[in-house]
Structure 1
Amino acid sequence: MPYATDLITKEADLGLPVTPTSTAPVRASSRLAWLLRIVIAALLVAIYWRVAVKLVYDWYTIPDYSHGFLVPFFAIFLIWDKRKYLSTVPVRQSWAGITLVLFALFVLILGVYGVELFTARMSFVLLMTGLIWTFSGWAMVRALRFPLLVLVLAIPFPAILFNQITFPLQLLASRIASDILPLLGVPTLHEGNVIELPVMKLEVAEACSGIRSLMSLFTLAVFYGYFLERTTKRRILLALASIPIAVTANVARIVGTGLCVQYWDPDKALGFFHEFSGWVMFVISLACLYVVHRAMRLLSPVKAQTL
């Protein structure tokens, strides 16, 4: 600053002691910012630790959401991978984000006292979005929208929505399997989610609806698309392609179980084969996802790689 330089020069000419410009206010401001972050982090832990413990327990005990262990690490990697771009995003604090913070806390209260785990867990994503909006601005929220949306993949669906998804999948899988088995020489009688074979009745239970492989394959498709595809449109198409792939794989598993019941051993078919075929079909589903990706690239080559 010219004015400050001239003033220091005049002080030196007069024989007065020259005091260098102090960085104490800057350091104090930096310390205050870090202290505020620590306080906010401590409050988040205090508020959400019960919700987090129950969520981790569900990941461990509910096979449909065992992929939840990978989601937080993937979200952290997404932020780290975009660190250079995020450093260029202008930081503009906005009090408008406080409205979302208050709404998220209200949703948390409803979830805790209404015993609705999905609502309480979703409030964390909303609260993080509100805090980023408040302290860094809406531009930063837009830059971090994908990591924030990825966190939703780790949250189990509410029971009412889960049942609305699994039951139609049960009916769809059992109906298609009962149509395919007669073509392979196995007569069937289809009633709801039950396929009656000549040897025994085969029930397509909730665990056999395909929701487990669907959720896991969809999440892995999101991961796969991010690492191996650079266009947003193709990432979305890959994620959507995982849905029919998972449904088809589940139908093939049921058909295979029906064939083993009819021509091999019912006990082994419903025991070892049923469990082992789940892993085999999931691997085949991943291979199908790769084939779809290769087909997309062959049919429409990428001329310019864009984020």
Structure 2
Amino acid sequence: MTSSAPSRPVPPEAASPAAALSTWLEVTPRAAWIAGSVFAAGYLLTFWDFLRNQAVQAVTQPSDWGHTLLIPAISGYFVWLKRDQLLAEPFRPSWWGIAVFVLGMAIYMLSAFGPPAVQHHNVRGLGAAVALLGGALAIFGLRSFRFLWFPWAYWLVFGQTISERLLSRVTERLQDWSAIGADILMNTFGIDVERVGNVLTIHFSDGTSHPLNVAEACSGMRTLMAFLAIGVAMAALGLSTWWQRAALVIAGIPISLFVNILRVTSLGLLSIIDPNMSAGEFHSMVGLVWLVPAFLLFLGAMWVIRNLVIDEPGTGGAS
């Protein structure tokens, strides 16, 4: 009569090859940050052409796309806010990250050498963003995605110039409303204005007139992206529930419209002093100045949204 020897417990790390490999691949935060720095240097070299073109567009069109220069810093700040959660556990590099990185490189190469239909700045931006995400997952592991997805998505959406073909479908309608609003507002101020489509013609007392093309003078409607970027950042930092954040982001559309009505009106008033003030560099400066009241309007909207519902102590409201 034989008896089998009692089975010994299997160590957790030997339960499966995948688990053992995952444990073996654990890296310290210091090693991960060193690897991340090396990857960042290689990333800049690889995608330098896209990054340089994006910077050039932001510098040459500051009133429309200057905000894209700040988006990487804001995304980095979002990552910094999550540093404690990121460092709470050892990093486990993921092979899936390499696959995502290869996908991003494929998209980028397709946009550079593929059919003309995909040779597009925004397609290159998508490829660069996917490659960046893949590199982050490969170094910091899949767990890091919980904390990195929002900064990454914020940079993808707001950190690059949106083509006229995509943006014009939205801005054309907003330009119409801006022209109507500016027409009403300037007539309220007693200014003799005639509107034909998107063209406002200001008639002066000496019998001369000056046309103000809202489709051109209000190219700042493209700052809709800047207003939305401000709204998303403020919602993420200053509001706690999903509906409050969504409401503030949606509020960016009427705020953008209202500020641009004021912007066109101010250009019309300045053209009375000097018609050249409604064009050129001065026109661009006016667009940047109006970002300040837009920010203040966002602060006011956030205060209203935050105080719409006040949780009583002990009611278990969202925090």
1:132 aligns with 2:136: yes
Q: SS where residue 299 of structure 1 aligns?
A: coil
Deviations 1:175-201 (A, max 9, x none): 333345445555654333212344333
Higher relative CO (Cα under 8 Å, sequence separation at least 6) belongs to 2
Q: What residue in structure 2 maps to residue 193 of structure 1?
A: 198
Distance 1:36 1:53 in 2: 24
Deviation at 1:286, TM superposition (A): 1.8
Q: SS where residue 195 of structure 1 aligns?
A: strand
Distance 1:34 1:242 in 2: 36
Number of paired residues?
Answer: 280
1:147 aligns with 2:146: no
Distance 1:72 1:36 in 2: 20
Distance 2:31 2:264 in 1: 61
Distance 1:296 1:34 in 2: 39
Distance 2:37 2:285 in 1: 47
Distance 2:233 2:34 in 1: 35
1:162 aligns with 2:172: no
Root-mean-square deviation (CA, aligned residues, Å) is 3.5
Q: SS where residue 141 of structure 1 aligns?
A: helix
1:177-256 superposed matches below 5 A: 177-186=182-191, 188-198=193-203, 199-256=209-266
Distance 1:205 1:146 in 2: 34
The alignment-based identity, stated in percent, is 25
Matched-pair contact (CA < 8 Å) for 2:186–2:193: yes
1:265 is aligned, of 261, 266, 273, to 273
Deviation at 1:50, TM superposition (A): 2.0
Distance 1:121 1:275 in 2: 26
Q: Measured at CA, do residues 160 and 212 of structure 1 come closer, stay the same or move farther in structure 2, by a change above 3 Å? A: closer
Matched-pair contact (CA < 8 Å) for 1:89–1:140: no
> What are the ranges of 5 or more consecutive residues in structure 2 without an aligned counterpart?
1-23, 204-208
Q: SS where residue 288 of structure 1 aligns?
A: helix
Q: SS where residue 205 of structure 1 aligns?
A: helix
Q: SS where residue 47 of structure 2 aligns?
A: helix
Deviation at 1:248, TM superposition (A): 0.9
1:76-95 superposed matches below 5 A: 76-88=76-88, 91=91, 93-95=93-95
Deviations 1:100-140 (A, max 9, x none): 32321111012222542221122121112223344544432
Q: Measured at CA, do residues 200 and 206 of structure 1 come closer, stay the same or move farther in structure 2, by a change above 3 Å? A: closer
Structure with the higher helix share, 1 or 2: 1
> What are the ranges of 5 or more consecutive residues in structure 1 without an aligned counterpart?
1-25
TM-score by length of 2: 0.72
The letter for the 1-side match of 2:168 is: N
Distance 1:276 1:289 in 2: 21
Distance 1:40 1:58 in 2: 26
Matched-pair contact (CA < 8 Å) for 2:79–2:147: no
Q: SS where residue 190 of structure 1 aligns?
A: strand
Deviations 1:3-32 (A, max 9, x none): xxxxxxxxxxxxxxxxxxxxxxx99x8799
TM-score by length of 1: 0.75
Q: Measured at CA, do residues 285 and 45 of structure 1 come closer, stay the same or move farther in structure 2, by a change above 3 Å? A: closer
Moved more, 105-114 or 228-237: 228-237
Deviations 1:57-82 (A, max 9, x none): 22211211111221111212211211
Matched-pair contact (CA < 8 Å) for 2:210–2:275: no
Q: Measured at CA, do residues 246 and 105 of structure 1 come closer, stay the same or move farther in structure 2, by a change above 3 Å? A: same
Moved more, 47-56 or 89-98: 89-98
Moved more, 88-97 or 60-69: 88-97
Larger Rg over CA atoms: 1
Q: What residue in structure 1 maps to residue 21 of structure 2?
A: none
Distance 1:174 1:268 in 2: 19
1:118 is aligned, of 105, 122, 125, to 122
Q: Measured at CA, do residues 207 and 87 of structure 1 come closer, stay the same or move farther in structure 2, by a change above 3 Å? A: farther
Deviations 1:231-250 (A, max 9, x none): 34323322221221111111
Moved more, 278-287 or 119-128: 278-287
